[in-house]
């Protein structure tokens, strides 16, 4: 038996992985310190009692037919607000995601004009990527509530401001996450299609979409569920729906009605979960 040769030296790890991990842990601990939040507080006898008293006020939920009938329309409104908001988000989010997917624009795997060797052509080919990333960051950094308040100035009080608020904020989120899902898909099949003379859009349609469709769909459905919650919050600032009813009932100290409305919100989220599971199975 001959001695096995020494393995080639391992290339150095990308610098600072450990440092990043340590810094992140420190940041998490520091956040608790800074906010003065003490988890033990939640479990003291005193606060447990207060929580129990407050909680009992919600029981039993008001299930009188008269009241339930009045909540039907707000519940529908919440679904509509969420769904229309998602439609707007997809309308802007999908094109932005296509621009923000690194594998489509950087590195040259999909370049119809060959791998840009460098210089101004390469920089230009990466422009859509950087511009869309910047736009998406801007859209995302402002929460939907603040977007909605801004749109109230433009469109007046009502659902339109809420739809646009959800639409813009969620387009920012969808654009980023969709781009990252597509980046995670093997680019070589699409590159093979470009190499055979196909254009980039066609190569992406065949080479990337089918493989990532299910994940894109499931994420979009999850976001629809989130939009349901967001729609409820927007109700607090006048966009209508269940949120507005919750706000009113809380202001009136009608806790049992609040409980009913919260239950309905729970049902909506569960409903979207069921629909999502069904659709994902259909497209499996």
Partner 1 sequence: MDTAFELVDVHKRFRLANGDWNEAIRGVSLTVRQGESIAVIGPSGAGKTTLLRLLNLTLRPDSGEVRINGTDPSRVKVRALRRLRARTGTVYQQHNLIPSLRTVHNILAGRLSSWSILRSLHSLISPREIGSAAEAARKVGVLDKLWERTDRLSGGEQQRVAIARALIQNPRHLLADEPVASVDPSRADALITLLRELNESEGKTIVVNLHDVPIALRHFPRILGLHAGRVFFDLPPGEIKADLLMRLYEGDEDMTEGETRAWIDETMKGSLAG
Among 31, 44, 47, 115, the residue binding partner 1 under the rule CB under 8 A is 115
Which helix or strand (DSSP H or E) is residue 13 part of? none
Size of the site for partner 1 (CB under 8 A): 28
Among 7, 60, 65, 114, the residue binding partner 1 under the rule CB under 8 A is 114
In Å, how far are 35, 42, 47, 55, 57 from 38, measured between CA atoms?
9, 8, 13, 22, 26
Cα three-residue angle 89-270-214, rounded to 5 degrees: 50
Examine residue 98 and tell whether it contacts partner 1 (CB under 8 A). no
Nearer to partner 1, 212 or 256 (CB): 212
Residues 187-216 binding partner 1 (CB under 8 A) are 188-189, 191-199, 201-203, 205-207, 210-211, 213
Q: Rounded CA gap, 63 and 110, in Å?
A: 59
User: Minimum distance between the CB of residue 171 and partner 1, rounded to whole angstroms?
Assistant: 23
Find how far residue 140's CA is from the centre of its chain: 9
Can you list the alpha helix ranges (DSSP code H) found in 127-240? 127-141, 144-155, 159-183, 188-195, 200-207, 209-234
Among 112, 124, 158, 273, the residue binding partner 1 under the rule CB under 8 A is 112
Using the contact rule CB under 8 A, the part of the chain among 7-15, 121-129, 232-240, 244-252 near partner 1 is: 7-15
Give the x/- contact pattern for partner 1 in 9-38, rule: CB under 8 A: x-xx--------------------------
């Amino acid at each position: 038996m001959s001695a096995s040769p020494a393995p080639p030296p391992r290339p150095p790890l990308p610098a600072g992985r450990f440092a990043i991990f340590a810094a992140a842990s420190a940041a998490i601990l520091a956040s608790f310190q800074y906010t003065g939040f003490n988890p033990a507080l939640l479990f003291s006898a005193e606060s447990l009692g207060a929580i129990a008293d407050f909680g009992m006020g919600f029981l039993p939920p008001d299930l009188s037919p008269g009241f339930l009938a009045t909540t039907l329309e707000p519940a529908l409104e919440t679904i509509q607000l969420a769904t229309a908001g998602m439609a707007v988000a997809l309308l802007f989010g999908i094109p932005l995601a296509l621009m923000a997917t690194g594998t489509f624009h950087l590195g040259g795997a999909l370049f119809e004009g060959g791998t840009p060797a460098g210089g101004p052509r390469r920089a230009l080919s990466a422009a859509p990527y950087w511009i869309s990333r910047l736009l998406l960051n801007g859209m995302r950094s402002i929460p939907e509530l603040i977007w909605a308040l801004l749109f109230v100035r433009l469109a007046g009080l009502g659902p339109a401001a809420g739809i646009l608020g959800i639409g813009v904020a969620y387009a920012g989120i969808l654009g980023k996450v969709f781009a990252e899902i597509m980046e995670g898909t093997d680019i070589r099949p699409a590159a093979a299609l470009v190499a055979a003379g196909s254009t980039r859009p066609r190569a992406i349609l065949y080479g990337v979409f089918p493989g990532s469709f299910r994940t894109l769909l499931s994420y979009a459905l999850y976001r629809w569920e989130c939009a349901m919650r967001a729609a409820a919050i927007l109700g607090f600032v006048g966009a209508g729906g269940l949120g507005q009813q919750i706000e009113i009932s809380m202001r009136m100290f009608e806790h049992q009605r609040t409980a009913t409305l919260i239950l309905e919100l729970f049902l909506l989220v569960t409903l979207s979960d069921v629909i999502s599971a069904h659709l994902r199975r259909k497209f499996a």
